[in-house]
Structure 1
């Protein structure tokens, strides 16, 4: 999610037409079929803006694309600011790949075509600020192989209580000003993500988890008894079975029984009316629910979800953030148990700082920080942490590389002269290993908020992003640069 310096969240990918997962040490997954056509290397003129931390020195970081790059087949295309949620799939019209990226602050979605070697060659916008309507944060690619329907890019509208979820054809015509591709049956809220569960987790049903990035944010669930039906299902909200709505009343090491209760008339209700029902039904009030993802590996794992709560300045709310584990009942998605597996407030500023995006593999949860608006000053720049599901160990893996002592670097990547710690944040992290045939390989979106340039203004071509002064505190971040890097050697 994005404030003066913020953004939101992640997403999921799968094989052939899909993606999944995340990882750790340099141990390659032998189950990934090799693809000799793919040649992973640095394609961007921008150096990697992130670095590996001790214990993860074997990671290989390669810059894929940035706002400074000119793509051969579309030299006027500008990769816009705040790359957040994303999706990637094989190009059915060729032998390459198609990459969609949310650009949160300019409410847009870019589409980049990569050739068979994984080199970006062409870019365009399929949604601009006029069609996006709200800030677009995390996103999820639904596919027939993984979810039983699609391909369809579900991208969530944040920044307004009346926000909705867009359903974008990743391969369709670039109808970028079309704001009529939303899904009212999924409700209205300041959404962070809309995550469909794997088709085998609940056969013959469509189950979608939605998260709300508000100070009293909710977790909701859309359920239809028809696969791929996004119009006629019911919407439910998460609460404890004892109906205690206070997040701070849940303690470490404890497990709480939860249920999803129906929101009536959700398809036609306003966001305010839905929020009123949630209060009436004693839904859990989370301190800004951000990204959500499910564990990979099998149908049962698909019912094990992890979501990030960023935290709040409000002393009555959780501060510094938490990572929750939600396990759904095999017989019904409307029942389950809730606990939290990591938090930042017991060691404030030194452990997790405002977790935002999240990426879950079979064995690990990868947690991306959004620490540019913390409770107080942290002791490190933005990190990606690795949480081991089996050992429960939490380790810092990557960190933003600000290079503050290098004058020329600062002149280019920090022209506004912001001297704060943790002023950059992460967007989506996603596993592309099976898709491209290279084991333990991920894409990571980076949002270097202090990197601004007039050349990046109006990247989407809309009237809304046209008149921007990069030094303006209110709208200057519409002129930010962004980057996507390839990270190899990440354990899954």
Structure 2
């Protein structure tokens, strides 16, 4: 399939419409103009996306996929359901990508050369270390942006219980220690999608990490906060859950565009069942699967403006979103435990601007835009939901919502070459893991975006981290894209 794919990619027949190195010499360098960067296709796998007309000028490149063999580590396999990631620029001009491999319960480190070509891959946290817990979205904290680090936060979501913690990973971690994990108990055990540290400018002298609970049980998916009054303290702070109004307001009571007063109430428990029980007792808001979180870039005031998605689910649809929603939370500048919550995009309003929402999942927020990525749950009850995963651009200044591109893997060429099936139940791929890399690589308006190729399967993708057994692994492929030309 590699040879056929390469030929098709080079001839344009495939549809293209539109994260053992133990060197501690890595740092995050912003605003560097690196003239040797050459953004182009490095993978033999095509980019299966369709660009919308207004975004025809953006450039999309495939730089790594599960079927690629990297020159310095030809046995490395880019595993199943690649997800959250963070990028660092090294002192020698190369780059280090830390990348969650969700369905293999592991985290990979990928080295890219000075031109931004992936050349080496290795696993720095394996499934033995995580106890077979899925590593979903992740966030990189750096001294420049957060006042401590670099350290990578990974959300332990589904799989073995009760190991769904916030995992803390040193980007320079030796591969010989891949079976050793460090978790952050003070941040609690949730069904964790992501743990997102706020900028050091948001609240001077504090460490604040926002945590998304991707759950739909009685307690719902909650938005949690860890806070310490010491910069870089990830162990001794307090845990809080967000309560809306007097606590009797449900998700479906929220009116789009209306502000609601919120407070973060302290939670004394940290283990999974006990946290859920305490959250119910203290009237923490029950959303329907809180997914990714991000804050607006720019000024300190902007950094206190937080956006998050609830992906929704068909159960609990009487009191919580089914199709998915995006929320805006503005924390009070004098007290991070209070703020205002606004429902800004409502996928359940079939006459509203977000009527096409089909399970919004990951989110990236820049100075002026939120980029929302979908993981479709496969709803077939309304025609406006009948599309593959969208990447949306939401204008934070005027509220305009646009579709940038759509996952487009069901072409004849894709099916013929084993990437997809027209009738596969996992036919809807996921767009995920988007991060802004513009400042790190010195190329304006440049992003990474990942496709979880749910219908592309091969035994060659099994057990890539070398730990556990094939039974603890997945056979799906992953595709890493560079997107250039999107406004920030």
1:125 matched to 2:126? The reply is no
Aligned to 2:339: 336
- Name the SS of the counterpart of 1:451 in structure 2: strand
Cα distance change, pair 188–16 in 1 and its aligned pair in 2 (3 A): same
1:454 matched to 2:459? The reply is yes
Structure 1 length-normalised TM: 0.88
Aligned to 1:412: 418
The answer on whether the counterparts of 1:311 and 1:354 sit within 8 Å (CA) in structure 2 is yes
Q: 1:23-53 deviations in whole A, cap 9, x for unaligned?
A: xxxxxxxxx5532021111111111122311
Aligned to 2:23: none
Map of 1:371-386 to 2, 5 A cutoff? 371-374=376-379, 376=381, 378-386=385-393
Higher relative contact order, structure no. (Cα contacts within 8 Å, ≥ 6 residues apart):
1
State the distance in 1 between where 2:314 and 2:339 align: 29
Map of 1:3-402 to 2, 5 A cutoff? 17=28, 34-92=33-91, 94-133=92-131, 134-159=133-158, 160=161, 163-175=164-176, 177-215=178-216, 216-264=220-268, 266=269, 269-314=270-315, 315-316=317-318, 317-347=320-350, 351-374=356-379, 376=381, 378-402=385-409
Of 472, 477, 481, the residue aligned with 1:481 is 477
The answer on whether the counterparts of 1:162 and 1:190 sit within 8 Å (CA) in structure 2 is no
Cα distance change, pair 259–249 in 1 and its aligned pair in 2 (3 A): same
Cα distance change, pair 375–129 in 1 and its aligned pair in 2 (3 A): farther
Structure 2 length-normalised TM: 0.89
TM-fit CA distance, 1:255: 0.7
State the distance in 1 between where 2:468 and 2:53 align: 45
State the distance in 2 between where 1:127 and 1:371 align: 28
The answer on whether the counterparts of 1:79 and 1:482 sit within 8 Å (CA) in structure 2 is yes
Aligned to 2:442: 437
TM-fit CA distance, 1:277: 0.8
State the distance in 1 between where 2:64 and 2:417 align: 21
The answer on whether the counterparts of 1:319 and 1:375 sit within 8 Å (CA) in structure 2 is no
The answer on whether the counterparts of 1:381 and 1:421 sit within 8 Å (CA) in structure 2 is no
State the distance in 2 between where 1:18 and 1:85 align: 20
TM-fit CA distance, 1:224: 0.4
Length, aligned pairs only: 452
TM-fit CA distance, 1:450: 0.2
Aligned to 2:12: none
Gaps of 5+ in 2: 1-18, 20-25
TM-fit CA distance, 1:253: 2.0
- Name the SS of the counterpart of 2:55 in structure 1: coil
Gaps of 5+ in 1: 1-9, 20-31, 469-474
- Name the SS of the counterpart of 2:412 in structure 1: coil
State the distance in 2 between where 1:181 and 1:365 align: 31
Structural RMSD (CA): 2.1
Q: 1:415-438 deviations in whole A, cap 9, x for unaligned?
A: 6x6445961001211111111111
The answer on whether the counterparts of 1:186 and 1:235 sit within 8 Å (CA) in structure 2 is yes
State the distance in 2 between where 1:35 and 1:479 align: 37
TM-fit CA distance, 1:221: 0.5
Cα distance change, pair 371–45 in 1 and its aligned pair in 2 (3 A): same
- Name the SS of the counterpart of 2:330 in structure 1: strand
Q: 1:236-261 deviations in whole A, cap 9, x for unaligned?
A: 11001322252111111211000001
State the distance in 1 between where 2:456 and 2:177 align: 26
- Name the SS of the counterpart of 1:435 in structure 2: helix
- Name the SS of the counterpart of 2:54 in structure 1: coil
